């Protein structure tokens, strides 16, 4: 079973590209996911310069990739569901290993002002026609 569920903040705006030939959309971005640490342990790790979050590369395909590029920006809180994918390539004679999450579902967990699009501020936007996206109403969040 290969299933991943993450909640975190984008570390950079999504980069959207289209594959040559078939034109399939692919978007890539980073996600910072806080580690589950007590306040004291977090302060201790920060004082030693140790990371308190994991930085995970995310890849999204198809219409979900286009929606991510149009509506997500650095710092935005999102939920991701997908699978871990590993790979490798050779660069300058050295084998480089990669690990990423290929997202099949992206949920907007936070809305806010954005310079990318005026429609980002419209919480009444209908996402039902966008594959893989399911906006979350703040009333549904238990905290």
pLDDT tens-digit profile of 80-127?
Answer: 999 999 999 999 999 999 999 999 999 988 876 544 443 444 444 555
The mean pLDDT of 10-16, rounded to a whole number, is 95
The position carrying tokens 């967990």 is 109
According to the model, what pLDDT value does residue 52 have?
A: 85
Domain region containing 90 = 4-140
The position carrying tokens 């030939």 is 21
Q: Is the pTM of this model over 0.75?
A: no
Q: Which of 140, 109, 99, 111 has its CA nearest to residue 7?
A: 109
The position carrying tokens 């977090």 is 42
What's the total number of domains in the chain? 1
In whole angstroms, what is the distance from residue 108 CA to residue 78 CA?
Answer: 5
Span 19-61, pLDDT tens digits: 999 999 999 999 999 988 888 888 898 898 888 889 999 999 9
Q: What's the CATH number where 92 sits?
A: 2.40.50.140
Cβ-in-10-Å burial (0-12, 13-18, 19+) of 132 comes to buried
Q: Evaluate whether 71 touches 28 at the Cβ level (below 8 Å).
A: no
């Amino acid at each position: 079973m290969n299933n991943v569920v993450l909640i975190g903040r984008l570390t950079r705006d999504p980069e959207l590209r289209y594959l040559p030939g078939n034109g399939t959309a692919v978007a890539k971005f980073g996600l910072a996911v806080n580690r589950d640490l007590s306040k004291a342990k977090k302060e201790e790790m920060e004082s030693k310069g140790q990371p308190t979050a994991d930085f995970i590369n995310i890849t999204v395909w198809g219409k979900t990739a286009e929606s991510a590029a149009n509506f997500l920006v650095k710092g935005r809180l999102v939920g991701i569901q997908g699978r871990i994918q590993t790979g490798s390539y050779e660069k300058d004679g050295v084998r480089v290993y990669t690990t990423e999450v290929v997202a099949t579902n992206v949920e907007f967990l936070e809305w806010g002002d954005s310079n990318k699009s005026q429609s980002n501020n419209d919480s009444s936007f209908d996402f039902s026609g966008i594959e893989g996206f399911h906006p979350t109403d703040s009333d549904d969040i238990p905290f």
